[in-house]
Amino acid sequence: MSQAHPSSRHVVVIGGGISGLAAAHRLLEGGARVTLMEDSARLGGKLHSGEIAGVPVDLGAESMLARRPEAVELARAVGLDDRLQSPATATARIWSRGGLRPMPTGHMMGVPGDLSPLAASGVLSEEGVARVARDAELPRTEVGDDVALGAYVAGRMGREVVDRLVEPLLGGVYAGDPYRISMRAAVPQLFEIARTHRSLIEGVREAQARAAARPAAGGPVFMGIEGGIGTLPGAVADALRAGGVEIIPNAHVHDLGWAEGHGWDVRSSDWSIEADGVVLATPAPEAGRVLARLSPAASAELAAVEYASMALVTMAFRRSEVEGLLHGSGFLVPPVDGRKIKASTFSSNKWRWNADADPDLFVLRTSIGRFGDEGDLQREDAELVAMSLKDLGEAVGLGATPVDTRVTRWTRGLPQYPVGHLGRVARIREHVSRLSGLRVCGAAYDGVGIPACISSGRRAADELLATLAPGAEGQGGE
């Protein structure tokens, strides 16, 4: 990585989640002098590693999409190549209609392109499968500029496939309501199919055939990191420091304004920093607060972004007491069945590094809460653990007492992408573009996955580097 020259343009990155870290990394590569300010004592945002019963675990995101390159590229760039691991098993199930059933193959975010595995799985009733098949007979349904994913799929295939397959899969990504989520924003490939094909089944089947023919089709879909995905931010931070980036923790930015000479004045309770450019890599509400005076229009749009809250319940058991009960990588839970947990990941099955840390222990985790269903998150940690154990007992027959538990709450952790979200993002960026030398990035804009957040940070950095190049426009405002 190149060392920034002392005369380089100075850029302040506000926010030390993976988006801000990726932006700082790209800025440093582009020759900028970089300062990163993080509101809390910890870098990484929703990427957070910890321990339970002495075993390293992820307490936030625990895998990254590998068929999109940004996250794997960044991990390799900061020296984690030899720690990248594909899942030891990717065999997930769905706890539907009273039993754990195999995840059917041949679907795109739950929308089937092949009815045979769907029927064989038992996830849907016979009537539900028959209703899905009607998609092939229905006339084309126009989608317009955008449409709610669940509403569109239910109209073509019935509500059962949405409630029992699309919703649990989509919930694992957005913790959201499929009947509100934008198909164009959340699953753009499916939106393109709906726009160009009469039948969803036919379009999904064609898309999967094309994907299977690609050279990289045989590689892993997801990737992890030995020690946890939560170790990635620390590795990026180490690389940034080695390149001369100043990282300031516990720096709550309370004001952002024009500097007297040129550029920006970034102020926190303990710091006042002048910069040629700023990347605002915070969640939407915080970004809206910082921009309230500079761009009321952008601030209002950012304030309208909704978030879902959730909790992760991580538990460690004596392996001898759970032997034979926990198979595959875990299971998803359709909310329509009224269970408390939304999913469970069997970490010691899924990740070799987790199992090897202590062969006598078995680690798993459950998730609770999603948009519009967050009442249980007001309960005490012990209640969330008890609710998780009750559902695990009914699902897999687990009756053992955990040797250690840990509850991690992600309050307003996942931005929601309702119909019209991409229009809102375009308006935010249009307003922000009038503030010369300022860009925004993060999960609220271009996707909530790790590669999407890294891409968002890189985009902001690249655009800012272009505006700060010799001969670029001077500062402006709304």
pLDDT on residue 6: 46
Question: Which residue has better confidence, 248 or 258?
Answer: 248
Question: Which residue has better confidence, 8 or 145?
Answer: 145
CA dist 35 to 10, 227, 246, 297, Å? Answer: 8, 28, 5, 27
Do 343 and 410 lie in a common domain?
Answer: yes
Please give the residue range of the domain that contains residue 290. 10-44+231-305+418-467
Spatial distance between the Cα atoms of 415 and 409, rounded to a whole number of angstroms: 15
Do 271 and 196 lie in a common domain?
Answer: no
> What are the pLDDT digits (tens) for 189-236?
999 999 999 999 999 999 999 988 876 666 789 999 999 999 999 999
pLDDT on residue 472: 58
**CATH classification at residue 363:** 3.90.660.20
Cα-based angle 363, 415, 350 (whole degrees, multiple of 5)? 20
Cα-based angle 176, 461, 33 (whole degrees, multiple of 5)? 135
Do 294 and 347 lie in a common domain?
Answer: no
**CATH classification at residue 282:** 3.50.50.60
Spatial distance between the Cα atoms of 456 and 442, rounded to a whole number of angstroms: 6
Q: In this structure, is residue 95 part of a structural domain? A: no
Rg for the chain, CA atoms, rounded: 23
> What are the pLDDT digits (tens) for 411-430?
999 999 999 999 999 999 99
Q: Report the Cα–Cα distance between both ends of the chain, in Å, rounded.
A: 36
- How many domains does the chain fold into? 3
Do 151 and 190 lie in a common domain?
Answer: yes
Q: In this structure, is residue 63 part of a structural domain? A: no
Q: In this structure, is residue 301 part of a structural domain? A: yes
User: Could you tell me the pLDDT band of residue 54, with boundaries at 50, 70 and 90?
Assistant: very high
Do 124 and 190 lie in a common domain?
Answer: yes
Do 244 and 264 lie in a common domain?
Answer: yes
Do 107 and 212 lie in a common domain?
Answer: yes
pLDDT over 70 at 7, yes or no:
no
3-state secondary structure 333-384: CCHHHCCCEEEEECHHHHCHHHHHHCCCEEEEEEEECECCECHHHHCCHHHH
Do 144 and 272 lie in a common domain?
Answer: no
What average pLDDT score do residues 321-333 get?
97
Task: Give buried/exposed letters for 334-359 (b at 16+ CB in 10 A, else e).
Answer: bbeeebbbbbbbbbbbbbbbbbebbe
Spatial distance between the Cα atoms of 455 and 15, rounded to a whole number of angstroms: 15
Half-sphere exposure of 135 (CA within 13 A, CB side): 27
Tokens matching residue 392: 């695990």
Do 114 and 211 lie in a common domain?
Answer: yes
Beta bridge partners of 101: 94
Above pLDDT 70, what percent of the chain? 96
Do 344 and 333 lie in a common domain?
Answer: yes
221, 66 in Cβ contact below 8 A? yes
pLDDT on residue 262: 77
Spatial distance between the Cα atoms of 108 and 127, rounded to a whole number of angstroms: 21
Closest CA to 48 of 471, 450, 465, 466: 450
Spatial distance between the Cα atoms of 439 and 279, rounded to a whole number of angstroms: 5
CA dist 332 to 119, 222, 329, 411, Å? Answer: 18, 17, 10, 21
How high does pLDDT run on average in the chain? 94
User: In the block, which residue shows the tokens 């009947």?
Assistant: 179
pLDDT on residue 466: 95
